[in-house]
Amino acid sequence: MAAQGKGYDALAPVYDLLQEEIDPARWADFVGEAVRLHCGIRPGTGDGASGRLLALDLGCGTGSVAIELAARGFDVIGVDRSAGMLEQARIKASDRGFTHGEGGVTLVCQDIAAFELYGTVDVAVCLMDTVNHLTGPEQVHNLLRLCHHYLNPGGLLLFDVATLHHFGVTRGDQVFYDLGRDVAMVWKNSWNPRNKTSRAELALFMEGSDGRYDRVDAVIRERAYSLGQIRRWLAQAGWRTVAEYGDIDCGPVDPDTERVFFAAVKPTAAEIEKSGE
């Protein structure tokens, strides 16, 4: 997933090659299961065409998960700050036969911490540590408030955050190499434990048609947030957290968990009234 526009514009042409270990179909299946378990809006009653559930994919990147959601019967709005990533998403959606607009995959170039929609949605997802790319706490606050504003009552918000263990131990201050068939990458990572920020300096080498290699450089910044912070910010924004998972198989959270998924529901008027009794 992508949130920082310019950094990801440089990566857009090769982003999917760098994410080959990610199976978008499995992630879309996980979203579908979370919707089945937790969403109070049923298929046939949603805001999409013919009552389909309308899903908002924040930080959609090259659209891999958004397209898989569309293939599973959702109407999808994908939002990303990177025009380059969205162009890749448009090509992929067209190749899969999904049109732009109602009944397909709509792609919008906006900042996910300050997005605007023309109407409401039934489901919102923000996946693959996209929240961590929001390096200011006020950006995360805005994201959660905006999702609450645009989701229908009973709607589901599903997102993940990479953990302190992931940033401080798995990545830390290390250098990673990925010598793939089509692209080679050198990743120099720096971790600042004081302000919980991670900086990745990426150098990619891609072989051209003439046999020579072109180099692309990008810098990606992320910030770790504690689970306690996320829980507090969800409550402040009006969400009711209904589940926390340690992986896309709905496993438990433990001290070595790399990524935690939050499922939160927007209470209905009846639920709000009942809680105030």
Q: Which fold has domain 165-223?
A: N-terminal domain of TfIIb (2.20.25)
Predicted TM-score (pTM) of this structure: 0.93
Q: State yes or no: pLDDT of 45 exceeds 60.
A: yes
pLDDT digits (tens, 9 = 90+) for 115-145: 999 999 999 999 999 999 999 999 999 999 9
Q: Which residue has the higher pLDDT, 62 or 274?
A: 62
pLDDT category of residue 206 using cuts at 50, 70 and 90: confident
Architecture of domain 5-163+225-275: 3-Layer(aba) Sandwich (3.40)
Boundaries of CATH 3.40.50.150 in the chain?
Answer: 5-163+225-275
Mean pLDDT lowest among 6-15, 45-54, 194-203: 6-15
Residue 134, both tokens:
């929001």
Write the Ramachandran bin of 82: left for phi over 0, alpha for psi from -120 to 50, otherwise beta.
Answer: beta
Name the burial class of residue 57, with classes exposed (0-12), middle (13-18) and buried (19+) by CB atoms within 10 angstroms of its CB. buried
Boundaries of CATH 2.20.25.110 in the chain?
Answer: 165-223
Q: Which residue has the higher pLDDT, 250 or 183?
A: 250
Q: State yes or no: pLDDT of 5 exceeds 50.
A: no
Residue 1: its pLDDT value, please?
Answer: 39
Q: State yes or no: pLDDT of 172 exceeds 90.
A: yes
Q: How high is the mean pLDDT of the chain?
A: 92
